Chains A and B, each alone.
Chain A
Amino acid sequence: MKEILRVAALIVTVSVVLWFINSKLNASGGPSAKGTLTVYNWGEFIDPDLLKQFEKETGIKVIYETFDTNEGMMAKIEQGGTSYDITMPSEYMVEMMAEKDLLLPINHNKLSNFKNIDPYFLDLPFDPGNTYSIPYFWGTVGIAFNPTLLEGQTFESWDNLWDPSLKQAVILVDSARETIGMGLNSLDYSLNTTDLDQLRKATDKLKTLSPNVKAVIGDEVTQLMVNGEAAVSLTWSGQAADMMSENEDIDYIVPKEGSNLWFDNIVIPRTAKNIEGAYAFINFMLDAKMAAQNADYVGYSTPNLAALDFMDPEVTSDERFYPDEEARNHLEVYKNLGLEMLGHYNELFLEFKMDMK
C-alpha cells in the first residue's frame, strides 16, 4: 500500500513540476515570445536565405515549421497548441478559416510593399478586398507530359487524354476537386458547379477514362515523371516546374477549355502573438527584390508585378507559367463549396476510383 501511494505521489509531483515548467517556458522564452516569429509554411516553399536575411535585418528570430495539407494545417491552428504568427493557406482554405474566425484582418496601410502586387490577383471572390490574405504564389492545373515517350500525342484539349494511344499512360492526382474538375472542364462546366446533374455527367465521363489511367497518386508522381516511368500526368504548374527542372524532355500545358487558377496566400492566424513581426515579415516578402529571389528559388509564379523586373525574362515570358490575360480568362478559382458539397465531390471521386480496373 505504502509503496503504491509513494509511487502515485511521485507521479503526481513530477507531472505538476513538468506542467509548471512548461507553462513558464511558454510564457517567457518559448515560441512566439517577443523577438521570435513562428512561420508555418508548405514544404520547399521559401528560399531559406531570405529567412536568414530577414533575421539579420530585423533581429527577429524565425521559427520555421512546415505542413503538407491545408486541412492538417487548419487542424493545428484550430487546436491552438503553437502560436503561429504566419501561415500560407490555399484560397479555399482562406475562405474556410475566415468563416471559422481563425484569421486576423490585415491592415494594408502597414504594408508599404502591398502596391507591388498585380491588381489582377487582388480582390478575388475567396477573400473580397483582401481582408485576411495577401497572395504569395499562384499557378494552374494542367497536363505534364514527356513527348519522347509518346507518339506525337499533344494536349490542346482535355479530351486528348481519352486518346486510345494513351492506354495505361495517364497518372491522375489523388484529389477530388482536381480530378473531378478535369471531367467538368472537359465538358465546359464550371469547376465550382453544385449542379448534381453536371457532376454526374463529369463522373461518368471520367469513368470512360479508366483504361488510360495508370494510377491515381500524390506527390510521388514527380519522381515517376522524372524517371520516365510515366508519360502523362495531371498536375499543378509548380510541380510541373519541378519535373521540368530535373528532366528537360518534360513539357507542361493548360488545355484550351481552361482549368483551375490557384493561390497560396499569406495570412496572420488568430494564434499570432508577434503581430508586428508578422507585418514586418509580410512586407519583407512583398519587396520586389525579395519576391523575385523567392520565386527564382521556389519555381512557382509570383503575383508580385514589381518582382518580374528582377527576374529572368525567359521565365516571366514563359506562357506556360505566366499565361497572358486572354489565357487566364479561361481559368477559374476554386470557391469553398461547403463541407456537404465537398463530401459529394469526394464520394463521386471514390466511385470513380472504385470503378477503375
Chain B
Amino acid sequence: MNNKPLRPLYTLPYAAWIILFVIAPIALIVYYSFLDLVGNFTLDNYRNFFSSVYLKLTISSFWYAFLITAFALLFAYPTAYFLTKTKHKYLWLLLIIIPSWINLLLKTYAFIGLFGLYGPINAFLELTGLGKQQILFTDFSFVFVSVYIFIPFMILPIFNSLDKLNPTLIDASRDLGANSWTTFRRVIWPLTLNGVKSGIQVVFIPALSLFMITRLIAGNKVITLGTAIEQQFLVTQNWGMGSTIAVFLILFMFIIMLMTSGKERGASINGKVK
C-alpha cells in the first residue's frame, strides 16, 4: 500500500472502465451522428435536426421536463423539510424511497388502471358529482405520473442538505430578529441550494429523455427527445439521426450540469457538505 510507484496501477481498472463505458460510447455516438443511412459521411443529420419538427420536439421536451422538475421541487422541498422534523425521519425517508425500487413499467401500468374511465379515481369523481373525466392520455396524467416517479430522487438530496443544516444557525437567525420567512429565504434556502441543484439535475435530465411513459400514459400526445431516439433506432433504423439527437441530448445535459453545479458559498459556510 505504501509502495508509491504502484499507485498508477490502482487507477488502471477505473481508467479502463471510464474509457470503455463512458468515453468510447460517446465517441461512437458522435461518430454515428455523421453517417447517413448507407454509412457515408454527411452533415445532413445536423441540418435535419434544425428543421421545424425536431426543433419543436426539443422545445416541447424542455417544456415538459421543466414542468416535471418544477412540480417535483414544489412538492419535494416541503416534504423533505417536514421529514427532517419528524421523530423517525429515516424510517419515513425509507418509506418514500421504497416505491422507487419497484419497476418503472409496473408502476406505469398501475396508473393506466387508476386513471382509466372505470378506475378508482373516476369512481370517486363520479361519487362527488363531478362525473367521469378523461384523465388518461392528457398532459396532466403525463406530468403527474412523471412527478410521482421522479420525486424520491428530488427528496433525497434536499433531505440530506436539510438534515446537515446546523440548527444553531436557525436559532441565531431568530435571535437576530429575523422572522420565519426571512430565516428561510436568507439562511435555510441558500444553505440547502446545493441539494436543490443536485435534485434538479437528477430529475430534469432523465425527464428530457423519458420514453415509455409518453406512450403508455400520454398516448404519444407528448413526445420527448427520448421517444424520438427510440424511434430512430428501432423503427426507422436511421442510427445516424438517432445519434444526432443523442448528441444534442448529451450537450443539453452537459449545459444543465454546468448550470446546476459550480462552487457554492453555502457549502463553505457549512463546512460539512461535500
Structural contact, A350 and B216, CB atoms closer than 8 A: no
Contacting pair B118 A228 (CB below 8 A): yes
> B72 an interface residue at 8 Å Cβ cutoff?
no
Among the listed stretches A213-221, A267-275, A324-332, which one makes contact with chain B, having 4 or more residues with CB under 8 Å of it? Answer: A213-221
Q: Report the nearest B residue to A344, measured CB to CB.
A: B236
Chain B residue with the shortest CB-CB distance to A353: B220
Contacts of B237 in A (CB 8 A): 71, 339, 342
Residue of A nearest to B241 (CB): A343
What is the distance, in angstroms, from A5's C-beta to the closest C-beta of chain B?
10
B110 within 8 A of A: no
Given A1-B3, A339-B237, A343-B241, does the pair A350, B231 have CB atoms closer than 8 Å?
Answer: yes
**Is there contact, CB below 8 Å, between B234 and A71?**
yes
Cβ contacts under 8 Å, B3 to chain A: 1
In the assembly, what is the distance between CA of A217 and CA of B136, in Å?
Answer: 12
- Nearest-neighbour CB distance to chain A for B98, whole angstroms, equals 27
CB proximity of B114 to chain A, nearest CB, Å: 12
In contact, A174 and B220 (Cβ under 8 angstroms): yes
Q: Is B223 engaged at the interface, CB distance under 8 Å to the other chain?
A: yes
Is A176's CB under 8 angstroms from B235's CB? yes
Cβ of A357 < 8 Å from any Cβ of B? yes
B26 within 8 A of partner (CB): no
Q: For the complex, is B219 an interface residue (Cβ under 8 Å from A)?
A: yes
| In contact, B241 and A350 (Cβ under 8 angstroms) | no
| Chain B residues touching A, range | 20 to 34
Q: Is the CB of B221 within 8 A of A72?
A: no
User: Which listed residue, B37, B117, B215, B228, touches A217 by the CB 8 Å rule?
Assistant: B215
Chain A residues lying within 8 Å of B223, measured Cβ to Cβ, are: 350, 353-354
CB–CB B220/A217 < 8 A: yes
- Pairwise interchain contact B231-A216, C-beta atoms closer than 8 A: no
Q: How far is the CA of A228 from the CA of B132 in the complex (A)?
A: 14
Q: Does B116 contact A (CB under 8 A)?
A: yes
Q: Which of A175, A229, A356 counts the most chain B CB atoms within 10 A? A: A229
Bound Cα distance from A342 to B37, whole angstroms: 11
Interface contact A357-B9, CB-CB below 8 Å: no
Bound: A176/B134 CA distance, A? 26
Interface Cβ pair total, 8 Å cutoff: 78
What CA separation (Å) do A348 and B9 show in the bound complex? 54
Interface residues of B in 188-229 (CB under 8 A from A): 215-216, 218-221, 223, 228
Interface centre among B136, B215, B235, B238 (most CB of A within 10 A): B235
Tell me whether A350 and B228 are in contact in the complex, defined as CB-CB below 8 angstroms, given that A72-B234, A229-B116 are known contacts.
yes
A15 surroundings in chain B (CB, below 8 A): none
Q: Is the CB of B238 within 8 A of A356?
A: no
- Which of B52-60, B77-85, B148-156 sits within the interface? B52-60
Q: Inside 8 A of A343's CB, which chain B residues have their CB?
A: 37, 236, 238, 241
- Interface membership of B6, Cβ < 8 A: yes
> Which residues from 106 to 124 on chain B have a C-beta closer than 8 Å to any C-beta of chain A?
112, 116-118
Report how far A71 CA is from B238 CA in the complex, Å: 12
Asked if B159 is at the interface (CB within 8 A of a chain A CB), the reply is no
Determine how close the nearest CB of chain A comes to the CB of B234; give it in whole angstroms. 6
Contact A350 B53 (CB under 8 A): yes
| With A1-B3, A4-B9, A227-B118: A356-B37 Cβ-Cβ less than 8 Å | no
Query: Bound state CA distance, A346 and B57, in angstroms?
Result: 14
7 smallest beta-carbon distances between A and B, as pairs? A215-B219, A216-B220, A215-B137, A346-B236, A343-B236, A339-B37, A353-B220
Residues of chain B touching chain A, judged by Cβ–Cβ distance below 8 Å, are: 3, 6, 9, 37, 53, 56-57, 60, 112, 116-118, 134, 136-137, 215-216, 218-221, 223, 228, 231, 234-238, 241
